[in-house]
Structure 1
Amino acid sequence: MQKPLAKAILFDMDGTLVNTLEDIRSAMGCALSLIGFPPPSAETTKRVVGRGLKNALRGAIQELGVTLDEEEHQRLYNAMMDSYRAHPSDQSTLYAGIHSLLCKLQADGFALGILSNKEDELTRRIVSDVLGDFSFVWVQGLLDSVPRKPDATAIRQFLIRQGFSADDIVYIGDSEVDWQTACNVPCSPILVSWGFRPKEELQSLPGSMVVDTVHELEDAIYGIQREGSEKQS
């Protein structure tokens, strides 16, 4: 019997499954208002996200040309997080086609998981609010005990817990952080161009597979599966 290459599909959340941009912008705007600035633009927000919200806020402040000491930065970060925790998914929605894709993957027996650099509690709340129709075997955000992506510790822990090898999984994201995470496992990466990074940036990553639509993503997932089956036939 042929053995498929992929048993599990792991996803980044923001910019991959869920468009969280406006909720992040709103929370950042709450913080920046404390120093007299409006919310960041959508393009600025896209540029600075990906390595945790504290780093995203720091990047947005740097783009304003403002220098803050660590105590003031922490004050703004606390304000941002208070706002975000109060409104984690008011404007967040699944990207078009994602619901159908996840239904198909789940029906076909893939183990589905999510790994985000957003704090764990927020990640789980957004998954519950926006992705509550699905049974993920693993959902994890940023924990104090586990290094953030692109460190591969979290995925390696998942592999041990589920009894998988790196060859059994595909990791799907929308940024250089996700590509590097997959490389560090190492496992097969797929990058989507509808998220928070320009397509040209993603294509410049060595050996990257970049898809533009959910249909192309589905083809890539099942193409990888077929390739694995063919190699073992």
Structure 2
Amino acid sequence: MQKKSVQAILFDLDGTLVDTIEDITDALNSVLTLEDMPPVDSEMTKRVVGRGLRNSIIGAVALGGEEFTSEQIDRMYASMMEHYRKNCCVKSKPYEGILPLLEDLDRQNIPLAIFSNKEDELTGEIVRTLFPHIRFAWVRGMRSDFPRKPDRAGLEYFAKKHGLAVENLLYVGDSEVDYQTAVNAGCKHILVSWGFRRREDLARLSASNLVDSVEELQEAINDLQ
């Protein structure tokens, strides 16, 4: 069991708050087809996301049995970003129940934040589009001048900025990267099973802090307050 006294809640974005997998799959396929490679489906995409879109390309290329140079990956990444910037919210939507949950937490004046490994500009665009009325205290995606998850620096930065102790933060995510981020920072965590990783894999990491529905997530958050 985790001790109570959560003072702020930080969320992963993709696979936790928002189902972005179809838009990411379309963006990946927009570059794979240019390289005469077979397309990926959403289940394949789930296997390669979580560490930034450039790494998703590397993973998708590997799934196709290919190995490209760094220069080729850079070119594909630039092309993918051009497509995804224009189409990041075409099919993406919050998971059912997420918006009411965030609205309820916001009404309670609980500081809310998003910390993602998606590129910072895209993280901000998706949040502004899908959650325009939620008062997030901090929204941060991947930036070249800022360590990405699972580095603990992001959670420590947020805690220091808001005058909080890291151990009083709660981080909610859907992957092994999110779990390791919380462990590295020494803060509380909850993993959700509706995202991009298999439930059995998450259960091996943290079975007692794994939830299967937004209702269970709400209860788990309440238990920590």
Q: Does 1:100 align with 2:97?
A: no
- Kindly state the Cα deviation for residue 84 of structure 1 after the two structures are TM-superposed: 0.4
Task: Map 1:77-92 to 2 at 5 A.
Answer: 77-92=77-92
Q: For residue 231 of structure 1, what is the aligned residue in structure 2?
A: none
Q: How far did residue 39 of structure 1 move?
A: 3.0
Distance between the aligned counterparts of 1:182 and 1:71, measured in 2? 33
5 Å matches for 1:55-74?
A: 55-74=55-74
Paired AA for residue 149 in structure 1 = K
Does the 8 Å contact 1:211/1:217 carry over to 2?
A: yes
Q: Tell me what 2:222 maps to.
A: 222
Q: What SS does structure 1 have at the residue aligned with 2:123?
A: helix
For these two proteins, the number of residue pairs brought into alignment is: 222
Structure 1 residue runs without a partner (length 5+): 226-233
Measured in 2, the distance between the counterparts of 1:145 and 1:218 equals 34
Quick one: distance in 2 between partners of 1:114 and 1:208?
Answer: 23
Overall identity of the aligned pairs, in %: 46
Larger radius of gyration: 1
Distance 1:221 1:88 in 2: 29
2:154 & 2:223 partners in 1: Cα distance? 26
Q: 1:7, 1:50 → 2: CA distance?
A: 26
Residues 170-223 of structure 1: CA distance to partner in whole angstroms, max 9, x if unpaired?
000000000000001110110000000000000011565110000000000011
Superposed counterparts of 1:119-198, under 5 Å:
119-198=119-198
SS at match of 2:99: helix
Give 2:47's aligned residue: 47
2:26 is matched with: 26
Could you tell me how far apart the structure 2 residues matched to 1:39 and 1:214 are? 32
SS in 2 for 1:171: strand
TM-score (norm 1): 0.93
Q: SS state of the match for residue 14, structure 2?
A: coil
TM-aligned CA deviation for residue 97 of structure 1: 0.3
Per the TM alignment, residue 167 of structure 1 is displaced from its structure 2 partner at its CA by 2.5
